[in-house]
Structures are given as C-alpha cells and as structure tokens.
Amino acid sequence: MNQQLENQQRVLEGMSTVVLLFDDNLLLKYINPAGEMLFEQSARHMLSLAYVELIQHRDEISLNKWVEEIKSGQSFTRHEVPLVLFHEKEVTANLTILPLTASDEKTEYLVEIIPVDRWIRITRDEQRVEQQEVTQEILRGLAHEVKNPLGGLRGAAQLLERELPSEELKEYTQVIISEADRLQALVNRILGPAGMPKVKEVNIHEILERVRSLIKIEVQDGIHIHRDYDVSVPDVKVDPDMLIQALLNIARNACEALGGKGNLTFKTRVVRKYTIGHQRHKLVACIEVIDDGPGIPADIREKIFFPMVTGRAEGSGLGLSISQSLIQQHDGLIECQSEPGRTVFSVVLPIN
C-alpha cells in the first residue's frame, strides 16, 4: 500500500497538469508542483487560502453555474474559461472541478487546470519548427544562387565605369553597384553566420547588457529601457554572438514598433519544468523583451516568424526568422504574446 501511495505521489508531482485539492470549506489542502509554477508561488504560501482568493472567474456566470452543479454532486468542466489567478495573473484554461467524498464523509473538491494557450503554443511550435526548416532551406538555396552572380555583376559594373566616356553615365553604373550591394547585404543576412555555434557558459545578463548598450545607441530619448533581472538565473551554454544577434533583432523590432516613444523592458526568470518541442526540461532560462507599443498587426500575427513577412514598409521580414533559427540551434524556442499596449517576446533556453 505504501508503495502505491508513493507512486501516486510521484505521478502528482511529475504531472504537467495543475491539480489542486480543496476541503469542504473550499480551503486549499494540496497543490502539485505544476500548480506552484502556474501560480508562481510555493505551496507553503497558498495552503489554507480560499478558492476565491486563488482563482477568480472573470465571468461570474461560470462560477455560479459551477456552485450549482457541484452542490448537486456533479462534476464541472468548462473549456477555455478566463481566470484571474492569485497575484492577478490572467490565464485561459480548461477547468474541471470534481467533488469527492473524503474518508470523514466530508466533501472535497479536486480542481484540474489546463492552461490552453500554453498547449496551443507547444503544438504550434512543433509544426512551426518543421515548416520553418523547409522555408529556410528554400530561401538559403535561393540566396546561394543569387550570391555568386552578384559578385560578377558588381565587378563588371566597376570595369564598365572606368571605360565610360562621360561622368554623367556613371550615374547608371552607380545604381547597379549600390543595388548589388543592397542585395548582397540581404543575401548575407539570409545565409547568416556560417558554421556551428561556438558555445560556452555565459551569463545571460552580460549578454543582455551588451544588447541594451547597443540598442541605447540606436534609439531616441523617448524610449526608456528598463531592466528586471533575476540574478539567480544560472549560466547557459550558448554562442554569445548568436544570442546577442537574436535578442538584438527582437529588441530592434520593439523599438521600431514604439516609434520613438515608450518603454522597453528586459526581464529574466528561471522556469522549472518546461517543454520545448518534445523535450521536457527541468530548468530553463526565460528572457523576455517587453514593449508597450501598438502590438503586432493582427493580419501577420501568426506568420511573423516566417522569412519575408513584414508589417513595415521598409522591413525585409528577416529579423525574427533569423532569431528563431539562431535560438533553435541552441534547442531553445521563441514565443510571443501580443496585444495593443503589451508585446512580449520570450526567448527560452534550456539550462543543463
């Protein structure tokens, strides 16, 4: 019997579903580690708190309905309910509440919370990784084909320029040369840094400080840069130049979206038990780049990580696809949540 209890304990502790148990007065008796993660609090701080303190239902109707159903001994399941958790954290989740009869004949309530946006992002990510690899391949192939003739084109224009009888005609060869240079720069960005990442143990805050100082030079005074670092984040194994490049692309986008006025925040956190693709990691470092700009235009929100997708007239649409590919090479992922007034790009990197 003991063995069985132990097994049950291990299952609960290892589950990625959030499980809570409330007593007949709806006070918290148990919460599993996945729950601690979602509520961003240790169990110690939450035990004995009331259901309504921990979980608020955005729509009162669903709460009233729940109380009614539960009283008649039925279980309650609702999909995609908006909840406000302890400490104002908002989530959309599938919620199940199951009345149980405890050994003392009193009723207990087992509550299961599955945040839906998290799941959508994970599954989307697996697909996205594959789709992106294909697009990236096609684009790289094309870039290679363009790269070689470009050199010839530019060289020929230079030779031609020297032979030209009049100065005025040079205007035309200059157009060829500058356009070839522009294309060359584009092609170089698509092809990206050559070779495997040169990884070493780095402190992500040193990386972020580099990014911050580079961005500071570029932006106007109207943009305020904030730091919200968790200094306890352990070092990660990355290629520092690649990580800087990936974060720069994201931060530059934020500044462009802010259009010269607003707030940009670099935030770091450690997250326990996080799934990237198919891989479950015990510990990951999460770097967030947050801006209070207008948000990502709705029509491109689902496609921003694809190359050549841009919402800006002068954009080439390569920044995010390059960042994504750089982070993928480190077994990490980039997520994004955006609404007017708050856009968050999270770079998640495994800590071994």
User: Is residue 293 at the binding interface for ligand ATP, with CB under 6 A as the rule?
Assistant: yes
For residue 27, what are the β-bridge partners? 50
Alpha helices in the chain (DSSP H): 2-14, 33-39, 43-46, 51-54, 60-71, 116-163, 170-191, 204-218, 240-258, 319-328
Residue from 21, 54, 219, 257 touching ligand ATP (CB under 6 A): that is 257
User: Is residue 328 at the binding interface for ligand ATP, with CB under 6 A as the rule?
Assistant: no
Instruction: Specify the length of the chain in residues.
Output: 352
Interatomic CA distance for residues 15 and 32, integer angstroms: 8
For ligand ATP, give the closer residue by CB, 216 or 272: 216
For ligand ATP, give the closer residue by CB, 173 or 249: 249
User: Is residue 291 at the binding interface for ligand ATP, with CB under 6 A as the rule?
Assistant: yes
User: Is residue 249 at the binding interface for ligand ATP, with CB under 6 A as the rule?
Assistant: yes
User: Is residue 240 at the binding interface for ligand ATP, with CB under 6 A as the rule?
Assistant: no
Residue from 192, 240, 307, 319 touching Mg ion (CB under 5 A): that is 319
Binding residues for ligand ATP restricted to 99-118, rule: CB under 6 A: none
CB 272 within 8 A of CB 283: yes
User: Is residue 295 at the binding interface for ligand ATP, with CB under 6 A as the rule?
Assistant: yes
**Per-residue DSSP letters for 242-310?**
HHHHHHHHHHHHHHHHHTT-EEEEEEEEEEEEEEETTEEEEEEEEEEEEE-SS---GGGTTTTTSTT--
Minimum gap (Å) between residue 344 Cβ and ligand ATP? 9
For ligand ATP, give the closer residue by CB, 245 or 343: 343
Interatomic CA distance for residues 38 and 34, integer angstroms: 6
User: Is residue 310 at the binding interface for ligand ATP, with CB under 6 A as the rule?
Assistant: yes
Residue from 173, 253, 324, 325 touching Mg ion (CB under 5 A): that is 253
Minimum gap (Å) between residue 257 Cβ and ligand ATP? 3
Interatomic CA distance for residues 24 and 292, integer angstroms: 43
For Mg ion, give the closer residue by CB, 173 or 249: 249
Q: Summarize as ranges the residues that interact with Mg ion (CB under 5 A).
A: 253, 319
